[in-house]
Structure 1
């Protein structure tokens, strides 16, 4: 008799187990993880750089881990803030997983880190399915991406604790319809907060830092409706994209490949901007 095994669910369940362990460990040591998701070119690196600079000015112990397919460009930019930064090169993998994150933090992140910002791979499909042990999941979209972005990527936006609009300094030039965007966000994630930002114009800078610090201090995060649906796999987020088949043999572009890691023992030491493959 043949037994059908749902490889997708097995992979995601394994990730959830690693995410729970990592979240418990980091929470116990006072570190709040913020998972940043967006499409490529959304401006999340520019905004994160400003937030890291502000955190340093305020004396908040922060660190940042940024994932990309091939270059160290984002880490170089973020390191200008003067905070510990680590680059993870995924070699074509479309997202981070909890086990992968745990391995890269091992022996790197300073013990006093209060906030860890994780800049996920630029992609709104695969990363949406993977809990990284974060306490705050943030989805960003620029004004140039279209007001219907939340409807095109309902899982990413539907599981967000916070939605950030970027590049608002050019909103008028690109005829961005803020009301329509907000309505579409509420359609997939009722009640989630939407904030407007512009790193260039210094609009809304500090809001992400404030929200992350509040969560670290025990503030209640928004509870996405999608996270409560039956069949959801994310430890505290819920549902997943059903169009990403983890049971197939893939030959992918940047939106597909993935690696399934194990959560290792977790140790911490002094950090610097580094590259890790």
Structure 2
């Protein structure tokens, strides 16, 4: 008799336990973690550089973890802000997990840091399912991506405490309809604030730091609704003739074993990250001195979910939000 085991369920449950422990550890350190999620090319890194510069200028002790599939380019850019930065190389995996963040908090995060910005991998599918122990979750989208992106990725935008619109200096050229965009955001996350920004002009950067500062000062972030509270389930006909839902509720269950496997059958990504420290270029080690990762079976060099077998099934799931 064969028994079916949902490996993804065990992985997500394990992640939730680790995220809860990490949130408690960050609270003990009096550190607020901010999880920034967007698709590739949204301008997330450029905006984060401005946020870190502003935080440093204001005297807010800030640091950043930035995730990438294969390069340290983003860490080099962010280090120009003067804040401590560490690169997390995922070896081709499309998201960060709580175990990876916890490892860097334990081994690297400088004492006294109050604001930890986590730049997730450019992807709006898998990252939305993984709690990283954050207090503030931000979903970003540029004006060049289309007004309906929030309803295409309801989990990412529906669980955000704040939605940030980037590259607004290109709105006119892109023919962007901000009113329609705001309506779509409200469909999946009623009441969430939408903050327009431009890394090029500086629009909204101070306002974004203000929002982060308010959480540092004890303000409770907007509470997104659970996906099931405001998203209907539509049934579509699969080419095979079997219907399948367009929304999938997140599995529940007990944490899996400590040596759990990733849904693709490979070990959890926490076992093969390749961190590299990047600090302000004033007499500190050059990032080039750090060894680059060896080849990994997942390394595909792009962020397309179709390149990863474990993303073949729809991953629009409801992850627990930060407390």
TM-score range, shorter chain: 0.7 to 0.9
Structure 1's unaligned 5+ residue stretches are 230-240, 251-256, 263-269
Q: Which of 1 and 2 has greater Rg?
A: 2
Residues 1:57 and 2:36 aligned together = no
Specify which of 227, 232, 249 is matched with residue 264 of structure 2: 249
Answering whether residue 49 of structure 2 is matched by residue 34 of structure 1, we say no
User: CA 1:15–1:136 in 2, change beyond 3 Å: closer, same or farther?
Assistant: same
Answer yes or no: is the 8 Å Cα contact 2:82–2:279 preserved in 1: no
Q: Which runs of 5+ in 2 are unaligned?
A: 230-246, 252-260, 272-276, 281-286, 294-323
Alignment of 1:145 with 2:145, yes or no, is yes
- How many angstroms does 1:208 deviate by? 2.0
Contact 2:87 2:278 in 1 (8 A): no
Question: Is contact 2:66-2:75 (8 Å) kept?
Answer: yes
Q: Is the 8 A contact 1:151 1:184 kept in 2?
A: yes
Counterparts of 2:4 and 2:151, CA distance in 1: 33
Output the CA distance in 1 between the equivalents of 2:133 and 2:228: 17
- Which residue is 1:196 aligned to? 196
- Whether the aligned pair in 2 keeps the contact of 1:22 and 1:102 (CA below 8 Å) is yes
State the SS of the aligned residue for 2:122. coil
**Counterparts of residues 234-245 of structure 1 (less than 5 Å):** 242=248
**Aligned equivalent of 1:220:** 220
Rate the CA distance shift 1:175–1:2 in 2: closer, same or farther, 3 A. Answer: same
Query: Normalised by the size of structure 1, how large is the TM-score?
Result: 0.85
| 1:164-207 per-position Cα deviation (integer Å, ceiling 9, x unaligned) | 00000110111100000000000001111100000101111122
**Equivalences for residues 1-277 of structure 1 within 5 A:** 1-226=1-226, 242=248, 248-249=263-264, 259-261=268-270, 272=279
Name which of structure 1's ranges 106-115 and 179-188 shifts more when overlaid on structure 2. Answer: 106-115
Q: Distance in 2 between matches of 1:228 and 1:32?
A: 28
Rounded Cα–Cα distance in structure 2 between residues aligned with 1:84 and 1:242:
38
Cα distance between partner residues in 1 of 2:267 and 2:174: 35
**Matched pairs, number:** 253
Deviation per CA, 1:134-161: give whole Å up to 9, x if none.
Answer: 0000000000000000011011001000
Residues 81-111 of structure 1: per-residue CA shift (max 9 Å, x gap)? 0110001111101100000111122221111
Quote how far apart the aligned CAs of 1:29 are: 1.1
